[in-house]
Structure 1
Amino acid sequence: MRLWLSESERRPDPAPARADARKALLAGTIGWLLALVLAAAFAEPLAEAGFSWFVTAAAVGVGLGLVGLLVVQLRRRRDRPGPSDRR
């Protein structure tokens, strides 16, 4: 087994995989939203056990997920070719 190859022996890099970040962000945000609903429903038992911060953590997760969705959508609009860019 060789640990080093010269540049002429290397295969070309593969093309990057296309992924839709919106789906991953949406799934994560829905997960945090479910956690928020459950934490709010069980807020009193959580507070008695010393875990009242779960509600805040879930709310922050939902907020960051929404910000992430907004950022991804704005970047997609910015990177989309306009009518003058099409040929």
Structure 2
Amino acid sequence: MAVEFRDEQPMKHEIGSRTYIVADVEPLDVDGVRTVEVGVALWLVGFVALLPFYGRLEDAGNVWWLWTCLAGFGLGLFGLEYCRRRRKARAAERRAAG
């Protein structure tokens, strides 16, 4: 297996007196599925962590914290399904393009 060395220079942008060098790097999480999965998991952890304190939350008038976590979890599930469908569509588009 041969290693290919290239002497390509990254793109440069000059704005005013500053020069910005932009490397040709692919983003790590293009479809956002992993990011949304982590967010959904954190909302669920927040909900479960607040459950033992329901009485205290009720006494302080902060029960909405619990329901906010549940709503974040539920809405996150919709977002997760959206991101997964988008990932499948992009993969099908790549396969069709060749």
Q: Equivalents in 2 of 1:64, 1:57: separation in Å?
A: 10
Task: Tell me which stretches of 4 or more aligned residues in structure 1 moved more than 6 Å.
Answer: 10-13
Identity %: 22
- RMSD across aligned positions (CA): 2.9
- CA pair 16-52 structure 1, distance change in 2 beyond 3 A: same
1:53 aligns with 2:64: yes
Gaps of 5+ in 1: none
Q: Which residue of 2 aligns with 1:33?
A: 44
2:92 alignment partner, SS class: coil
Deviation at 1:64, TM superposition (A): 1.6
- Out of 27, 35, 51, the position equivalent to 1:17 is 27
Structure 2 spans left out of the alignment, 5+ residues: 1-14
Would you tell me which structure has more strand in proportion to its own residues? 2
What's the TM-score, normalizing by structure 1? Answer: 0.73
More off after superposition, 37-46 vs 53-62: 37-46
The 2-side partners of 1:23 and 1:48 are apart by: 37
What TM-score does the superposition give when structure 2 sets the normalisation length?
0.66
Matched residue type, 1:63: G
Q: How many residues align?
A: 82
**SS at structure 1 position matched to 2:78:** helix
Identify which of structures 1 and 2 has the higher relative contact order when contacts are C-alpha pairs closer than 8 Å and 6+ apart.
Answer: 1
